[in-house]
Amino acid sequence: MKRKSEKSGVGVIGGGSWGTTIAQLLARKRNRVILWVRDEALAREINEKRINSKYFPAHRLSSLIEATTSMAKVADESQVIFVVVPSRVFREVVRRLGDFLHGEHILISATKGIEDETFKRMSEIIKEETPVKKVGVLSGPNIAEEIMRGHPSATIVASRFELVKSKVISLLNHRLFNVYGSSDVTGVELAGTFKNIVAIASGIAHGKGFGVNTFSYLMTEGLREMKILGEAMGAEGDTFISLAGIGDLIATCTSQYSRNFRFGKALSEGLSPDEALKKVNQTVEGIYAAKVMYHYAEKHGVNLPLLTAIHDVIYRGLKVEDAIEKLTRVPQEE
């Protein structure tokens, strides 16, 4: 089914914490939002009770948000669609969505991750699995709980199409949520992925009772490695000192709401990676990013000590204490 029609709404694919938050942000600008969720029970809860009890039991959702389990409905009633699902299922979901899309749609990835095996970014997967050419990515220091509480925040939309950037800015920009444009899609996606790995290290440090000196050290090293890897892949260096880079890094490495931070903290308490993930009980993108980024860096001979240490803690049984010891011996450039 591929047909053009009048589009009266904006679509969001994914009813997790960030997908729900984006839907609420869109509704705040008086947009009618069609929110796709997998579970019929969740769709009923949102439509009838105006809450998403798993993620935001204390926040009432706008009456302009309509939840549905039909991707066809989202595609038929929306020109702009935000895709906000975990990276592990991103290709599967986008492939299904692609059956209902045509060339006039605009797709925005708000997923921070890289596909395992292929090392494809989410925007690349969209282009492979759908007929959509006008693609963008959304990334920045966006802790969902804080945004739902109305705390001021900002983000970046990156695309090679000016139309995509202007559309997203008009849909989301608000006095409490500033949206800036960028043309560096590669850099914005990689920054949003790599910062999750650094946040795990930050959570470990917090759990061990270390102070701001340690946090500063880890974030500086994380930013250095992020920039090295990003530039090796063709990203612009300035992207990593923007909201998408250092901005998101600071937020994710310091917030108790960050899943990756909480995962690292659980590791510091002696839990295994599987136990720590169960304790967080939500998707932790840094787990998968560490694996994918490590193998890419290894294949291309890029030395990234922080990335290697976190990878080895998760996948090779390296003790947290030994990882910290390794990181404190990372040589710094003068």
Q: Which residues are catalytic?
A: 195
CA distance to 89, 144, 150, per residue, from 86 (Å): 6, 15, 25
Tokens 């880890």 -> residue: 218
Two tokens at 208? 């061990």
Helix, strand, coil distribution of the chain in percent, nearest 5 = 55, 15, 35
Please, what is the Cα angle at 29 between 166 and 81, to 5 degrees?
A: 55
Q: Rounded distance, CA 260 to CA 113, Å? A: 13
**Rounded to whole angstroms, how far apart are CA atoms 322 and 3?**
57
Check the CA dihedral 269-271-275-277 and report its sign.
positive
The neighbour count for residue 234, using CB atoms within 10 Å, is 10
13 and 108 in contact (C-beta within 8 Å)?
no
CA atoms within 13 A on the CB side of 128: 12
Bridge pairing between strands 65-68 and 33-36: parallel
Residues 6 or more apart in contact with residue 83 via CB below 8 angstroms = 13, 14, 90, 93, 94, 97, 107, 108, 109, 110, 111, 122, 126
Two tokens, residue 300: 């291309």
Report the Cα–Cα distance between both ends of the chain, in Å, rounded.
Answer: 59
CA distance linking residue 53 with residue 56, whole number of Å: 5
